[in-house]
Amino acid sequence: MTTQNTPYTSPSEIKQIHANLVKGFKSGITRPLSYRRHQLLQLARLVQENIPALEDAVLADLGKQRQECTLAELGPIVQACLYAAENLEEWAKPKKPQVEEFRKTWDVTIYSVPKGVVLIISPWNFPYILTLGPLVGAIAAGCPAVLKPSESTPTCSAFMAALIAKYLDPAAYTVVLGAVEESTTLLELQWNHIFFTGGTSIGRKIAAAAGKNLTPLTLELGGMNPAIIDTDCDLELAAKRLLFGQIQNAGQLCVAPDYVLIPRSIATLFKDAVKKAYEGFFPSDPLHPESNWSKIVNVAHFNRLESLLARTRGEIILGGKVDENLRIAPTVVTNVKLDDPLMEEEIFGPILPIIEVENTEEAVQIVGDRPSPLVVYVFTDSEDLKQKFLDRTNSGTLVLNDTFMQLSVYEMPFGGHGDSGYGAYLGKRSFDTFTHERSYINIPAAMEPFFGYRYLPYTDESYKVMTAQAFAEIPEA
């Protein structure tokens, strides 16, 4: 496995990489479906043939457990490659839309063509799936790609760079290693699409850089994801599923529940249910030296989370401890108010605030008044409450009665809304993200008798014929 000492990519190398990929794209090497399918299967082999080493790398960088790594990252990449390879011909074939009768001889066609050379910038928290997941879409669409993984997970990033060079065509796919300076150099270049996953503040900078070159952009951001507990749900099941979603990767994931809204009438029962689930997940101290509890990625993030625990005005009922290995015990905080420090921004750590409300109607109002999160979780059997959240709130996804598992449903798009980003991917939507729908028509000479009315000089008759659509009958509502 490649070590953490792999040097960063120099600015001159970055520019040469970009030039080489542009040249390769213009040569047409990535366009044949047979080429794309081969590269997709190679990416699946890259993962499948290196699972233990990939697990070792993420264990070194994040302390992430092997099952979490392969369940949430490596397995979905293999599946995405196989799914794209199987469906590639169907996705890429020209489409014939329904048209009005008089245009049926025009051979109206929509061609799915690759956008061109793309840039994928990924974060540290799920280094494989958030880097190689979008790459599946780029490969399927026929786009060469530069990958820029995070410098905060150096072992994973260097290992991916080595594997990409070994398994994929270097004329079309490569990894740039580096930090802010290298990212800045990349963003100064002309791309045909940029795919960014990360925080909102950096996302705004990426959007500004993309705007200078009018570059199409996908932003997969985050936000504060609420979880609402209804009085009709199974509290013990809700607590177990909620806690499961919150502790994945020590809470360092964009779809983690950031806070709970619960009616006061069941708050005490729910706290008891959370304690029971906690004891089931952690029969011994999660910070025990032999525990495999994940660590916080670096000192800066650790200090930020420790500061939140120090500043909160709520009551810590579970966890709250930290250790010298950058680990924070899963922590549950009650009696939290909406203006608490824990509610200032996305927590991105193993801390779960519980906020009591009068009823679910107040919860709907709170969620609707806040910026759109990536996901809203609601634990309920009420169709009426589900409809209220659909009608009166917004989010990238609405999930009932579980957490985290929406990421496994590749048949529907995953993405944000408003402050949580724009654009989406997974399944065919990944292909669509990197594809331009190029429209085509061929006007036959037989249309010329009708087209005679469009030419100068205009007459009353030509006006009547050529403007008939504007005077179409409008039905009653």
Q: Which residues are catalytic?
A: 220, 254
Tokens of 474: 């409008």
Given a contact cutoff of 8 angstroms between Cβ atoms, the answer to whether 86 and 66 are in contact is no
Classify each residue of 122-152 as buried b or exposed e, where b means 16 or more C-beta atoms within 10 Å of its C-beta.
bbbbbbbbbbbbbbbbbbbbbbbbbbbbbeb
User: What are the start-end ranges of the E strands in 170-321?
Assistant: 173-175, 193-197, 217-220, 226-229, 259-263, 315-318
**Residue 195 φ/ψ, nearest 5 degrees:** -120, 115
Quickly count: other Cβ atoms within 10 Å of residue 103's Cβ: 12
Strands (E), 34-150: 109-114, 118-121, 145-148
Pairing mode of beta strands 331-334, 315-318: antiparallel
CB neighbour class for 76 (10 Å; exposed up to 12, middle 13-18, buried from 19):
buried
Rounded Cα distance, 472 and 477, in Å = 15
Strand ranges for 78-182 from DSSP E: 109-114, 118-121, 145-148, 173-175
Q: Coil, strand, or helix at residue 446?
A: helix
Q: Which amino acid makes up residue 95?
A: K
Which sign does the torsion angle of CA 172, 178, 180, 185 carry? negative
The residues near 343 (Cβ < 8 Å, ≥ 6 apart) are: 224, 259, 336, 337, 353
φ, ψ dihedrals at 372, nearest 5°: -65, 120
- Contacts with 119 (C-beta within 8 Å, 6 or more apart), sequence order: 145, 146, 148, 186, 187, 189, 191, 193, 194, 195
What DSSP state is assigned to residue 458? P
The owner of tokens 């993200």 is: 433
- Strand pairing class (331-334; 351-357): parallel
